[in-house]
Structure 1
Amino acid sequence: MKSIRYALGAIAVAISLQSHACSVFLRDNMQLPLNTADVGNSDRLSLTRHYLTAREWTTEGASAEVDAAAFETERNPKELAALRGKNVKAFLVQLGLDKEKIHVYERVIELSGGKVDPDNKWQIGVKFVPICPPSGCQNLCNSPKLQGVASYAVTADTPGPAPGSNRFACGDNREPAKVRILETEVWTARTEEKKLTLIGNDGSGNRKPLADICYRVTTSAQEYIGVTDDQGRTERMQLLGPERTKIEMKVEVDRYPVSDDD
């Protein structure tokens, strides 16, 4: 990540269209306590939000792929993986998803040198994908701010969002004339209301709160646009978790140049 950083708590979800035109999906990754099969309340809330979004993509609704796994060191890992998959499928059916549209895959995660691979630490993954009508899902690729659009394929049929459709304005005379928009995503561990403090490096390399910075913070349900106060704080907002929270900041090019530090 470039020079601007911020303070925020963190955990798990990721946001995946089976069409070649673009990629549309919503994904939840869950790390469960060892040897347990029940999904926690925060993960259930995230699954619910993503299902309610995914079912509106097309009139045909959505399907779900469930990756149910267990570490080889957990008790009876094959049976545990199967039980986890069964529990998640039952919850999705309870939400209203047709059981025929839920595909469960079970596996055992092997450890490397007795350690869990940080990139393979989730025992459950749920991916919602749209069920496309005969005409295809190209319209999803062209819908600005549609939750779940992970990538665009620019073709005559799927040109992507109109230029400038994702821009935002703070409506404040402190917006810089020479703008650079910096953006990043973080894992939000749990749903909570809080102010964020945006902290970064200025042109002299000094680390300090980013005062009077135009920002946009986007969750799966809402976006917040404003200007930080003199201590780099945003307005109070509801951050949803566990899921990705997107933060975009408009900064003055000369005042906050991009550097290569992580």
Structure 2
Amino acid sequence: MIETVDQTAWGVFAKRIRAGWSRDRSSNKGFQLTAEDIEIVTSKTCRIPITGVTGAGKSTFLYLLATLKWPRAGEICWRFPDGKRFIWGKKGKGLSAEELYVLRGQYFGFAFQNSTLLPHLTVRENLSYPLWQRGLSTRLARKITDEKLGKVRVESDPKLAEFLGRFPSQLSGGQRQRAALAQAWIHDPYVLFADEPTGNLDSQTRREVMKVIDNWLNEQPGKRLFIWVTHHDEDKIRHGVAAHIEVRNGAVEWKSA
């Protein structure tokens, strides 16, 4: 359970986490990730970059917080603005299938370096697909989709109707990434997880994408959290973050500014 002075704050507490994976199966050599006590609360910040060299374990820690990987030991506890708490430990113990569905499908949004847009669907169809799965009408799904995508476009993009009708292969790298962000936000999550969301983009496009994320955070101050893996120091500096998470040789540490 997260204990904070400000009871209106929400966030995550990772306690004595241990995780591991095999780097070289032929030699059976493994790698250990450790996090003693890492606490992220929104009363302190809404932007948390995870930094470190390639192979340090940045993505693994992100996935642990996001229920995409399970710890081998330790405990992770999330507390959300609606007052609900979710706690799990080794191999997801403590989470029911229904709770996992709520976390992944309602509370968390995911955006990755490689777009998850389906190549055979248009941008609008990609964004509408999860809404159709929930039983929303085509009309309502279209309305929500148009609204979300309208918030991630920039001046250099084509008109909204044209943008929505394109296939992923017809988009630039920046356009694909912003469409993927709209896809991640389609269900209004509390937390956006991103693994190198700007890794393949040039500096100008990277700034545009990060600006879009800033706008999303500022729409509902205190009710949204952005946690992302980055190797671009300028992302951390430009966001003026109060602190960040550093992963070095498998050890996860909280670093104050």
- Normalised-by-shorter TM-score class: under 0.3
Structure label with greater radius of gyration? 1
> Would you tell me which structure has more strand in proportion to its own residues?
1
Query: Greater share of helix residues, 1 or 2?
Result: 2
TM (norm. structure 1) is: 0.26
